Amino acid sequence: MAKDTFFRKKVTLNARGKLIDISAPKVMGIINITPDSFYAGSRKPGVNEALLQAEKMLADGATFLDIGAYSSRPGAVDISVNEEVDRLLPVVEAVVNGFPDAVLSIDTFRAQVADAAIKAGAHIINDISGGQLDEAMFATVAHLQVPYILMHMKGNPQSMNQLAQYDDVFTEVLDYFVSRYQQLKQLGVHDVIIDPGFGFAKKPEHGYALMNRLQEFNMLDLPVLVGVSRKKMIYGLLGISADEALNGTTILNTISLMKGANILRVHDVKEAVEAVKIYETVVNAGKTF
């Protein structure tokens, strides 16, 4: 890859008029409005709990808050659109009112949910399915003109574990991004962030293969989001639990930063912000001495 390729990467996002500079890496905090997300510490099913978590994450340095009301862990229970909206909107409205400067990402693969959340004051759509589970999603994002996180996954949360088969996982994920991004461009979507989808229809060995070549996604000139926080690729390898996987998460987050990640999606904001600060200090020290 040519040395200057990275610097052609898009490094600003227009989030409903808020221009966000991601040339320096940023942190996205996870708030799950669900009773069954894989990491119990992320579950904030009530409005008050979610507000407290939002306050803490913003104080710890999060640039984005990613709010989801549908558990996407492997084998999660499917819920209706109405139930997802009913869980989500009160929290979105409360966070928008309580923290008007916060930038809210909505973790959903359903166009109807995305539309309702953006109209309630959210800014970004984070779609684990890359538009594959709702054919109206791409057109909805184009109409709303908001940044879109395009993640790679096969199947759905109920079936993805059975579909974790690849001849060459990096090439397949790269080809997917090229194809899906072309469709988004044709529809007039301007701000696209790619997410390799660690743990989604991927065995741990697939995740580590993608991490090994993460810097090669920079050839797409698109911002890269990495979400490895407390996932099985960490705790399974180390023989521990998700509750014990913070150290491993920080290590993989640091490797991600070294390979060009622009956004870290995490359960533990303070530690991720510290990793970014140390990484940036090392990089900038080389420019000043």
Active-site entry in 10, 231, 232, 270: 231
Active site residue 3: no
Q: In degrees to the nearest 10, what's the CA dihedral of 17, 20, 26, 32? A: 0
Closest CA to 105 of 21, 185, 31, 196: 31
Residue 150's contacts (CB-CB under 8 Å, 6 or more residues apart) are 127, 130, 131, 177, 180, 181, 184, 192, 193, 194, 195
Active-site entry in 9, 26, 110, 265: 265
The single residue listed with the structure tokens 């992320």 is 42
Active site residue 180: no
Per-residue burial over 202-235, b if 16 or more Cβ lie within 10 Å, else e, is: bbbebbebbbeebbebbebebbbbbbbbbbbbbb
Residue 167's contacts (CB-CB under 8 Å, 6 or more residues apart) are none
Q: Return the active site residues.
A: 231, 265
